[in-house]
Structure 1
Amino acid sequence: MMKLTQPACKFCKGSESSLFSCCTPEEHEKLGLAKSCNFYKKGQPIFQENSMPVGLYCVSEGLVKITKLGSNGKEQILRIAKPGDIFGYQSLIKNSRYKASSIAIEDSSICFVPKSQFNELLTNNKAFYDGIMRLLCDTIESAETKITDIAYKPVRGRIAEALILLDRAFEGKEHITLTREDLAGLVGTVKETAIRIISEFKHEKLIEINKRSIKVINQEGLMKISHLYD
């Protein structure tokens, strides 16, 4: 981890979608004085399961996977955080140990907001509070959808859906650089199955493969496969 010059929230790549966009100029000034920004190399953990939270994290640049170890010891990806997204807020609000870990998918710049500043925004900024409540509801809804998909949607449909979501997460980049193992963890399958289906999608000219990266060339075709099992 390496400390970086603190970027102003308004200059962040995800500033428009960031929860901090609802802050007042005075709150942004306080936030700028309180927060820090650190650089994490690809594969480096940001926080780990069972550790205690001391603040809020926000992606400035790069991508972060939020993961949890299953009973079989395999990593399950719960979600992927992109620029402007915050993470680690559930355990921070509950004041409990993290139930998941966070790891940089690629070289990433991550801002850290101390717990005291986060609590101050929750107390004094209704728009920020409402935004956190919506995020919590979205998280529950997403988890329910994922459980249903794993139970009823075949792996082929889940991978098609995951590639569409990843293509959006990697917006502005030509290729998706998520590993096959991470892709398998995202949809709840094994790496061998993910590799086989990715190969099928390549032959069907839905994607292109360049070494270990993937480029979506037919998003409509992937959407048809994803919705085929809805």
Structure 2
Amino acid sequence: MDYQAASLALKRSFLFSSISDEDMSDLLANAEEKSYTTGEYFFWEGGAPDSFFLLISGRVKVIKHGSQGRETVVAFFRPGEIFGEVAVLEDKPYPASAIALEDSMALSIDRQVFHEFIRRHPGVALAMVGLLSARLREAQSRLHDLAGERVEQRLSRTLDRLASKLGPELPFTRQDLADMSGTTLETAVRFLSRLKQDGIISSGRGLVVIQDRLRLKRLTEDPSSG
């Protein structure tokens, strides 16, 4: 294990940022470092929640599998963030699948190890409550956006939110962006084509690149201002 990289990831994490160096060493001694290639799954929807993950490097997306085989992106994570923890806490199957967007490294933390750790460190348990509350607020905000905004604003906000978290190069298809914005593929294609013509984005196969973040931000408030 690369202890330096793993320690930095733990310190970057909201969940573990306050633990002592001694406790960090104890946690690392009971965690497993794993590597994943682009497209490889960390876990599958419906699988047993044996562990959750702290991302050290790379990027991860979480997807739901529809009844007709279609995939919908529901979340994405960058280094220092954890994922899969809700299933571990509830001891219920993973509600979605996690897949590497690029070659990635992660710490796999066993469910029983984590349960023992939070018993000894109630501050981590409180941090977990805060983390879950923040994710609930984000989900509520996204639902509000879906219910109350024009389609162009929803698509702009989706792109802006993704860029804030993943950087200007977004490895998502037009269908992914349509699903995350609560609109149809046809509508997403038309709007993305307009953004491309205006020089706000460029795009390739399965990739959207933000070229003008300032103009994109303006569109999140007023779709006619681009």
Class of the TM-score when normalised by the shorter of the 2 chains: 0.7 to 0.9
Q: Distance in 2 between matches of 1:114 and 1:192?
A: 43
Q: Distance in 2 between matches of 1:96 and 1:143?
A: 20
Secondary structure of residue in 2 paired with 1:20: coil
Secondary structure of residue in 2 paired with 1:57: strand
Q: What amino acid does structure 2 have at the position aligned with 1:41?
A: T
Q: What amino acid does structure 2 have at the position aligned with 1:143?
A: A
Find the counterpart in structure 2 of residue 119 from structure 1.
Answer: 115
Q: Distance in 2 between matches of 1:38 and 1:83?
A: 14
Q: What amino acid does structure 2 have at the position aligned with 1:28?
A: M
TM-score (norm 2): 0.86
Say which of 143, 156, 159 aligns to 2:155: 159
Say which of 185, 198, 203 aligns to 1:204: 198
Identity across matched positions, percent: 26
The answer to whether 1:11 aligns with 2:8 is: yes
Deviation at 1:211, TM superposition (A): 5.7
- The 8 Å contact of residues 15 and 131 in structure 2, kept in 1 or not, is answered as no
RMSD of aligned C-alpha atoms? Answer: 2.3
TM-score (norm 1): 0.85
Q: What amino acid does structure 1 have at the position aligned with 2:182?
A: G
Map 1:1-230 to 2 at 5 A.
Answer: 5-8=1-4, 9-12=6-9, 15-70=11-66, 73-171=69-167, 175-209=169-203, 212-228=206-222
- The 8 Å contact of residues 56 and 113 in structure 1, kept in 2 or not, is answered as yes
Distance 1:187 1:224, change over 3 A: same
Deviation at 1:162, TM superposition (A): 1.6
- The 8 Å contact of residues 7 and 37 in structure 1, kept in 2 or not, is answered as no
Q: What amino acid does structure 1 have at the position aligned with 2:24?
A: H
After alignment, is 79-88 or 24-33 more displaced? 24-33
Distance 1:98 1:224, change over 3 A: same
Distance 1:43 1:73, change over 3 A: same
For structure 1, the residue ranges without an aligned partner over 5 or more in a row are none
After alignment, is 182-191 or 107-116 more displaced? 182-191
Deviation at 1:84, TM superposition (A): 0.6
Secondary structure of residue in 2 paired with 1:37: strand
Q: What amino acid does structure 2 have at the position aligned with 1:127?
A: G
Moved over 6 A (4+): none
Deviation sequence 1:27-78 (CA, Å, 0-9, x none): 1111121111222122221111111101121111111111223455432222
- The 8 Å contact of residues 207 and 214 in structure 1, kept in 2 or not, is answered as yes
- The 8 Å contact of residues 75 and 185 in structure 1, kept in 2 or not, is answered as no
Aligned residues: 222
Q: What amino acid does structure 2 have at the position aligned with 1:155?
A: V
